[in-house]
Structure 1
């Protein structure tokens, strides 16, 4: 799916002297969604040490380390029809700083092939995460419903989720595993609806292997996800802002509700020369199998 350009939120771009001739900030859609599970039935039994008791309301966030934040950023592609993703470096840099400030060990990779992507994900999953609070992965790329594109080929979502299930990665069992995916989930456009505002005056226990996951998609299945070529994607802009302002004040689901609001209300595409792409909206899509609340406590940055 090719990308379409737009000016930022209807506001003309002002040349501050730092732009090269011809440089214009634009909004572009990233052309991802739910993939069907390919895990099948697992017969082996797994035993993992649990970090909190069954009745705990919050995940334990006082381990020695916060954990790994893996950022997979794709700007260049060798797939016919996929344009370069201008502005994604801003997303990568902002995410790297934000999660580093939250105490994560940030690992960043740019422009990996499909095989290299899966290899890196498996290598991170095979690490010992015993001393870690949680795990985060951010993927910035093109997508279609059910798949994400590496530089040379697509892969299914399960291929990056499954290595971290409790049976495959026992040192993360019972700990939150959070995925933030900036990519399209299809080619439909959201025209929005104008609204008028009215104000009225410790024993052991078993867990499912797919528990403790959170997946935040930048848009709902079947729809475009927009990105500004100068500032980065709408979703990552909002996510970074909420984490920077309130990352240790609220639990992650509350923060993501605020992210949804920012994206839904504060952003709108502006493509005056293309009425089909003009004045379009977007809202992120959050799915989770968390069994407790995730709230970041203070930890020295890695």
Structure 2
């Protein structure tokens, strides 16, 4: 007689025969709406950015310093790039050059006490820095609290619920990021070092700032040229890696409606792929970083895109 293959009992048969086992079976997860699942990004709204002008952009660019600090050659290129981009984005501009520490503190306090009718406040600070903060031209430190504190909700009520954005080009220490070898998991060769700008050590400098935390307040975005403990590179003619990449990525992606945090990821990628050849330490790298207490997407809308 041919062998008969008995089929195994189904889960439903077992549950019917042994009701007490039903609680051991975990039902398959189901979505409330399989055809139109809700994504987290769909539930995040955008900050209002429709005022004209849409906000104020303050640029503080320290170029000439008292000895022993060196002048920051190439910083003029960063200033011009920032002015062009934020004017294009519909911001009012205020540019201040060569500010001592006390002048920087007074400026920031003055701007925080103004009535901000626009939708956003942007502050770009370019200077030398150290583990304690940003240097004024006289070498004195401007601390994290000096920079961010005046714009907290308690100190600056006209910016409550509005994004406060800080772009800071300055070193945060004296260490150099050394390169590491990578092997791509793809069939396409990725020449990270070959695409990087290899500059002679004499053609770029560092801006050797440490700002370890954000203020305990909402709606801040702080983007820094490098992570804690490390230097930032600035080419003596074309400007700093961070600011030049920031301006390039803003020009590329703002017309496409990308949010600023996504654009900063593009900045991180581009800057991290650059390399500087140093005589003592060899190949050195740079890794920008940003921290946020934003509660919505921040999108810089181009008023009249071409």
Which digits, 9 at most, give the CA deviation of each residue in 1:253-297, with x for residues without a partner?
A: 0000000000001x11123xx222x31000101111111110122
Q: Is the 8 A contact 1:167 1:209 kept in 2?
A: no
Aligned partners of 1:56, 1:185: CA distance in 2, in Å? 33
2:291 to 260, 282, 287: 287
Kindly name which structure, 1 or 2, has the bigger radius of gyration based on alpha carbons: 2
CA distance in 2, matches of 1:57, 1:193: 39
- 1:63 maps to 51
The 4+ residue runs of structure 1 with deviation greater than 3 A are: none
Provide the aligned length of Structure 1 versus Structure 2.
Answer: 235
> Cα distance 1:292–1:114, how it changes in 2: closer, same or farther (>3 A)?
same
2: CA distance between counterparts of 1:209 and 1:284? Answer: 22
Asked if the contact 1:91/1:236 (under 8 Å) is kept, the reply is: yes
Residues 88, 302 of structure 2: 8 Å contact kept: no
* 166, 173, 190: which one aligns with 1:179: 166
The higher-RCO structure (CA 8 Å, 6+ apart) is 1
TM-score by length of 2: 0.73
- Decide whether the 8 Å contact of 1:113 with 1:150 is kept in 2: yes
- Runs (5+) with no aligned partner, structure 1: 1-54, 202-207
Q: 1:169, 1:298 → 2: CA distance?
A: 26
Are 1:259 and 2:264 counterparts? no
Unaligned runs of 5+ in 2: 1-42, 189-214
Q: Could you tell me which residue of structure 2 aligns to residue 20 of structure 1? A: none
| TM-score, scaled relative to structure 1 | 0.74
1:140-289 superposed matches below 5 A: 140-152=126-138, 153-199=140-186, 210-248=217-255, 249-265=257-273, 267-271=274-278, 274-276=279-281, 278-289=282-293
1:56 Cα deviation from its structure 2 partner: 5.9
| Distance in 2 of aligned mates of 1:127 and 1:97 | 24
Give deviations 1:222-269, integer Å, cap 9, x for gaps. Answer: 00111100110000111010011112320000000000000001x111
**How far 1:76 sits from its partner (Å)?**
1.0
Asked whether 1:112 is paired with 2:99, we answer yes
The answer (yes or no) to whether the contact 1:251–1:293 under 8 Å persists in 2 is yes
Higher helix share: 2
Q: 1:85 to 1:186 in 2, by over 3 A?
A: same
Q: Distance in 2 between matches of 1:73 and 1:64?
A: 25
RMSD value, Cα = 1.9
In structure 2, relative to structure 1, the CA distance for the partners of 1:103 and 1:180 (3 Å cut) is same
What SS class does the counterpart of residue 107 from structure 1 fall into? strand
Q: Which residue of 2 aligns with 1:297?
A: 301
The Cα shift of 1:200 comes to 8.1
Deviation at 1:157, TM superposition (A): 1.7
